[in-house]
Structure formats: C-alpha cells, structure tokens
A and B are shown apart, each in its own frame.
Chain A
Amino acid sequence: MQATGIKGTAAKTTAAATARADGKSETVERAGSLDTAGIILEDVCYEYPGGVAALKGISLRISQNETVAIIGENGAGKTTLAKHLNGLLKPTSGRVFVDGVDTRGRTCAAMARLVGFVFQNPDDQLFQNQVFKEIAFGPRNLGYPADKVERLVKWAAGLVGIEGLLERHPFDLALAQRKLVAIASVVAMDTPYVILDEPTTGQDYPGTQKLATLVAKLHAAGKTVIAITHDMEFAAAHFARVIALAGGRVILDGTPNEVFSRPDELAMASVEPPQMARLGQRLGLEECVLDQEALLRALGLV
C-alpha cells in the first residue's frame, strides 16, 4: 500500500473486552486473543465481476473499541471496503480477519454474529409489518431466546431513540425514521463491530444528534463503530479516527485533526475539511481546528 498518509494511531486503543452499556448491554464476547483482536486487512484487492478494480491493496488494522469514519468521494471504494468487513464480499487477493477469523471461510450470515452492517437504503432491509418484529429479526436469526431478544430490541430502540415507534408499521414512517429503525435492527444484534453506511443522509439536526449519541453509547459499551460518511462535521466531531479513501487506496489515516489538516491529500479524495477547519486555514492558523470552540481558543478569544 502506498502510505502517503499519516500512520494510524490506532494501536493505542486497548480492548475493552467485556464492557457494558450501563449494565444493560449484553456481554460482548471476544474470540480473539490480543494480537488477533480487531479487524485486520492484509493487502486487500477487490475487482468486481465486470472488471472494475474497486480496492487496490488496502492494509489496515482497526482495533477493538475504536470509532472510525471512512470518507472519500463516491466510487472511492468505501462501501466495497465495508462489505469486506462482514464477509459480504471476499477479497480477490489479500485477506481480511475479524478477531482472528478469516472471512473467506465464513458465510456472511455467520459473520453477522461479529459484524453488524447497516445499509444505506433502509427499504432494502425492512420487511416486517411492525417495528418491534423488524428489530427482533436479527437477534432471532442469531438464535437468542425470546426474553433476550426482547431485551435487545428495547435496548437498541432506546439507543437510537425510537422507543415510541415499536408498535408502528415501518412503511408508515418517514425515510429518516425508517433509517433509524434499520440502524436499531442491526444494533440489536449486539455485535462487537457495527458498520453504518451513510447514517446521516436525510437526517435533520435532531436525527444527526441521535446518531452522534448512538456512536458514543456504542463506544461506551465497548463496541467498535465504523461509519461511512460524507458529513465531515459528523466525522470530525464524533469519531476518533478518520480514514480517507481515493481510487481504492487509503490516502490518509489518523485522528480528525491529523487528517483534516492535510488539504492537499483531501483534495485528492475530493473531500472538503469541515467548515471551521477551512476557516482556520483561511485565517492562517497553524493548527487544525475542527469546531467553534477550538477556533475561538486558537484565536485567543476565549
């Protein structure tokens, strides 16, 4: 892999092996030992059957309990990369390990125990006639007993803030709410890894705030959260690590501050840093500022 970017500071994260969310979340079962824990990609290449090379040699390590935002323009390979993490796609060459498990040897359904994946379009996913049943579908597939399923459904609905919608029909809800139902239906599977594909699309401010809270709570529960997003403010504010993809390669990998202080590489990925970072750069600030507070501090105004 061509490492023009900054070396990730991922290794500092220690595994919160059996963390619980306020005692409500189920124990997260960790299969891997310390050196195999986490998601490891070894020189992963992927070519679609039509011959389009979507990933061109990606090597990454995502440790347990990290929060990672994946950014990059459309067609950069973000969703293709994410689909490798739960075995929906198997690499053309290279290998993907999740907690030491090689995805090539497992079906996607078997990987679903480890990695939850929320799709961009909720309408590809929702099919039950009631939100409760919808959210319960995943945990039932994993073979959990009824009382555990019910506990997980309520826990997940609480995390995304849709407790009031459990009796409703998913298709009576607005798109943004259906999206939250789709997210809850994957969170309820209580997997140690949760992947969100463009969760903030179509969400209003309160919806985005709900998602931010969700990321924080999942992190507190010891889970690894990986989000694909075009929302740079969301990526900068709520994720500890940002990975920028361009043309099927990783071009930047580091903390939001590190990544968003590299406008040249970001331009390669056709990504604009958050508004405050751009303002700070225009003002000639040395350091990268990502929010209003940081900007005011850097200007010596607070």
Chain B
Amino acid sequence: MNPRSPYVHRPSSIHRLNPLTKGVLFLCTVVIAFATSSLTTVLALLGAVVAASAAARVARELARTVAKSAFVIVALIFIVQGLFYPGSRTPLYVVGPLTIWQEGLRFACFTASRLLAIIGATVLLMLTTRPEDLVSELMARGLSRKLGFVVLMTMQIIPNMQARAAAILDAQRSRGLETEGRLIQRFRAFLPLMGPLVVGSIISLETRSLAIEARGFSSPTKRVRIEDIPDTRWESLVRWGASLATFGFVVWRLVRWISSLIR
C-alpha cells in the first residue's frame, strides 16, 4: 500500500463500492460539470459530492483538502469576475473607485461552484478509493499492464519526489546553501536541488523496473488476482445508467447549442 496516498479507510458503503463504479460516477460528474451552463445543475452536483462525502464519513477531510487547494483560486475568481466581468450592467456595491457587478458575481458563483464540484469529486474519489484497487480493477477489465503500471507510478511519483526533494534540500542547506530569503537566493538553490532529484528518480525508477521484472512483470501467463473486488449487478446498472444519462445530457447540450447557432 502507498502510505502517502490520501486514502482514508472508513467503514462506509461508499468505500465498499466497486472502484470502477466510483471512477465512472466521478467521470460523469466532471463531464456534466463542464457541459452544463446552469447554476442549479452545478449546485446539485456539488450537493451530491457533499452528501456522498458525508455518507463516506470523510466530509471533514474533503472540506479540509478542498479548502486548502481551492481557496486562493476561488477568491481570485470572485475578485476578478466581480470587478471586471465584461458586459456587466448592474452595479451591486461601489467601494471607492471599484464597482462590484451583479453579473460578475453571478458568473463567479457559477465558475467557483463548477470548480468546487470538480475538485470535490476528485478529492472524494481519492479519499475513498485506493489507487491500486482502481488500477487493478481496470486491468482486470482489459487495461494493459504496462499502462496500469505507468498510471500507478505517476500517482506515486509526486509524493515520492516531494519527500526526496525535502531530503536533498536539507543536505544542501547543511552545506551552507542559503535557501531561505531573497528570490535570487532561492533560485540559486534550485540547481543543487534538481541534479540529485532527477538523477535519483531515474536511478530509483530503473531499480524499480528491474525489481518488478525479476518478479515476472512481463511474463505472458494469465494473471490471477490476490483480492477479488466485489461487484454487484445493481452497481453495473448504476454505471451504465450514469454513463448513458451523462452521454444523453451532453448530446442534449450539443443539440441546443447547435440549434442556437442556426437560429
């Protein structure tokens, strides 16, 4: 298991869902959030994410992670759109030389909710699903082993590199490299950091691939799975239903868009 994955183990029905079901629902959420232009739909998605996180007992973790990753950008959206949204006509407040526009705020509400729904769905998926399980389920359904390995490695490499970067930074600071303070100083600290980081990552990647090859990674025999991940008929129904509904929604949006162009 990867100790650095944000996965939080809780006894909940959401956790017990087949990873593929969660993956499909996540993708549907993202697609709908992008395809829609209605605030109500986006808020409904956001509500669904929050409700699902409560059912999974990870509402607090979700709130904390989303707040940490989205706070600055949401604040920026409100400031920029509220003040400078093109075509604004209805002033809401006037503070000195600045005018906050109603249209801008409405657009900011929509964009921020859409962003929060997407980030929330992503975080919820990560909190309730082990990446190993998701990839293993995909591989059982025909994803190539090499691609599965690449996906898993990519998910692990960023926290791995962060930990290594911290160790390298410590080693170079101990040799008198000033890494705190002015920008130019921090920039000068960059090179001694990058060298070991890149070389070390290549070396560890090579070692890792040799190690998994030594355990028969590319052996052509048929695989069995250590752990069977349960799947039920109704989950399969949910997946198909959600996929079809999302597909239908996108088609409907396209038709409306094209007909509006024609008219």
Contacts and interface: CB of A to CB of B under 8 A. Distances in A.
Nearest to A107: B180
A86 interface: yes
A123 B175 contact: no
A186 interface: yes
B170 interface: yes
A15 to B, nearest CB: 24
B180 to A, nearest CB: 5
A128 interface: yes
A127 B175 contact: no
A113 interface: yes
A229 interface: no
Contacts of A186: 174-175
Interface stretch (A92-100, A137-145, A148-156, A291-299): A137-145
A126 B177 contact: no
A291 B178 CA distance: 44
Interface in A86-106: 86, 88
Contact of B168 (A88, A117, A125): A125
A185 B175 contact: yes
Contacts of A127: 191-196, 199
Contact of A137 (B179, B181, B192, B203): B192
A234 interface: no
A137 B177 CA distance: 9
Interface string B170-202: 111111111111000000000111111001100
A124 interface: yes
Contacts of A108: 170, 173-174
A116 B194 CA distance: 22
Contacts of B193: 127
A127 B2 CA distance: 28
Contacts of B245: none
B199 A142 contact: no
A14 B248 CA distance: 85
A138 B177 CA distance: 8
Nearest to B185: A109
B171 A119 contact: yes
A119 B196 contact: no
Contact of B176 (A88, A123, A124, A142): A142
Contacts of A109: 173, 176-180
B167 interface: yes
A119 B178 contact: no
B35 to A, nearest CB: 41
B245 to A, nearest CB: 42
A189 B167 contact: no
A112 interface: yes
Nearest to B203: A123
Contacts of A83: 170
A88 B196 CA distance: 19
Interface residues of A, number: 27
B170 A88 contact: yes
Interface string B151-170: 00000000000001001101
A189 B176 contact: yes
A59 interface: no
A110 B181 CA distance: 12
Given A124-B167, A125-B171, A112 B195 contact: no
A52 to B, nearest CB: 14
Interface in B193-216: 193-196, 199-200, 203
A127 B173 CA distance: 14
B170 A119 contact: yes
B169 to A, nearest CB: 9
A248 B200 CA distance: 31
B176 A119 contact: no
Given A107-B180, A119-B167, A171-B199, A125 B175 contact: yes
Given A88-B170, A119-B170, A119-B171, A125 B196 contact: yes
A293 to B, nearest CB: 38
Contacts of A110: 178
B167 A121 contact: yes
Contacts of B175: 112, 116, 125, 137-138, 141, 185-186, 189
B164 A141 contact: no
Nearest to A118: B174
Quick one: which of A124, A138, A142, A189 has the most chain B CB within 10 A?
A124
B105 to A, nearest CB: 38
Interface of B: 164, 167-168, 170-181, 191-196, 199-200, 203
Given A86-B174, A142-B176, 20 more contacts: A107-B181, A108-B170, A109-B177, A109-B180, A112-B173, A112-B174, A113-B176, A117-B174, A119-B170, A123-B196, A124-B167, A124-B168, A124-B196, A126-B195, A127-B191, A127-B194, A137-B192, A141-B175, A185-B175, A189-B175
27 contacts: A86-B174, A88-B170, A88-B173, A107-B178, A110-B178, A112-B173, A112-B175, A116-B175, A117-B174, A119-B167, A119-B170, A123-B199, A124-B167, A125-B168, A125-B172, A125-B196, A126-B196, A127-B193, A127-B194, A127-B195, A127-B196, A127-B199, A138-B175, A141-B176, A141-B177, A185-B175, A186-B175
